[in-house]
Amino acid sequence: MAYIIALAGKGGVGKTTISAMLVQYLMKIDKPVLAVDADPNSNLDVALGMKYEETIADIREQVKKQTPESFSKSEFFGLRLEEALVEGNGFDLLVMGRPEGPGCYCAVNNILREYLAKVSKKYKFVVIDNEAGMEHLSRRTAADIDLLLLVSDSTMVGINSAINAFNTTKSAGIKIKNIILVINKSNGVLTNDKLKLIENTGLKIGGYIDFQEEIQKSSETGKGMVELGADMGNIFDILFDHSNCLGCRRQPKQL
């Protein structure tokens, strides 16, 4: 069964870039990795240097409206999702697409959950680049989340957004084994008032990632993944402690 990692944070804090570089890091531990872009403002494909043709939302609309008589709805949905999967070198990409429109999608979402639970068994890791709100994850995937990385910059707005996502998980019915806050684009340790705010929520800070000019330029030009920077590799090493290795996979530390 795949080890599932989800990332959340407000726009602009760098969670998509971290998601892409996390995919790069995990491929060095074990392959294959499934990258899932669950943000309606899809950008993970650009960060990974890939292109997609269809999203899960596109297929959901098609299945909801019409299914060929020769297929059950479940079979047709699974077949179309396989076609939407973008294959990379050591990793694949699946894009969720825009939010749900009007009408009931309960039956189709149930099929999607079944599909993701099934397909995740083919991968060593699943990385889900998520938006700040977590409610849609509880509707779209049945698998428990092993690690939720809440990404923030050092601003109060970013930290509050991460805290809101953390609080949302408590009421969204999502089973999460471990939740860690990562401070991205950091220029040093947070001020005492911010540290106190985070501490009062019960969140644990997994580490700080310094601002990197090379990553910023790559993001601006849309060149895709850059080589893993030293401090990025170090923060992932902290999160995935090699001393807790199970088989060929590193398991995140319990902070």
Q: What is the pLDDT of residue 96?
A: 82
Residues 179 and 143: their CA atoms lie apart, in Å, by 16
C-alpha torsion sign, points 170, 130, 100, 123: negative
Distances (CA, A) of 157 to 10, 13, 147, 152, 169: 9, 10, 23, 9, 19
**Which tens digit of pLDDT belongs to each residue from 79-104?**
888 898 999 999 999 988 875 555 55
Q: What is the pLDDT of residue 242?
A: 40
Separation CA 125–CA 173 (nearest Å): 22
For 3-252, CATH gives: 3.40.50.300
List alpha helices for 55-205, DSSP H. 56-65, 73-84, 106-119, 135-140, 156-171, 192-201
**Those residues with Cβ within 8 angstroms of residue 85's Cβ, 6 or more apart along the chain or in another chain:** 92, 93, 94
Reported as a pLDDT band with limits 50, 70 and 90, residue 124 is very high
Residue 205, strand partner residues = 181
Is residue 75 predicted with pLDDT exceeding 70? yes
**For residues 219-242, average pLDDT:** 61
**What mean pLDDT comes out for the span 171-180?**
82
Question: What percentage of the chain carries pLDDT values higher than 90?
Answer: 23
What is the predicted pLDDT for the residue at 59? 86
pLDDT attached to residue 139: 59
Q: Is 52 helix (H, G, I), strand (E, B) or coil?
A: coil
User: What whole-number distance in Å separates Cα of residue 193 and Cα of residue 199?
Assistant: 10
Give residue 136's pLDDT.
Answer: 60
Burial readout 179-214 (b: 16 or more C-beta within 10 A, e: otherwise): bbbbbbbbeeebeeebeebbeeeebebbbbbeebee
pLDDT at 160: 92
Triad 121, 225, 153: Cα angle to 5°? 95
Task: Collapse the DSSP code of 101 into the 3-class scheme (helix H, G, I; strand E, B; otherwise coil) and give the result.
Answer: coil
R_g (Cα) of the chain, nearest Å: 18
DSSP 8-state class, residue 145 = B
> For 1-55, how does the pLDDT look when each residue is reduced to its tens digit (9 = 90+)?
788 898 988 888 888 888 998 998 899 889 999 999 888 778 899 889 889 999 8
pTM of the predicted model over 0.75: yes
Write down the mean pLDDT value for the chain.
79
pLDDT at 65: 82
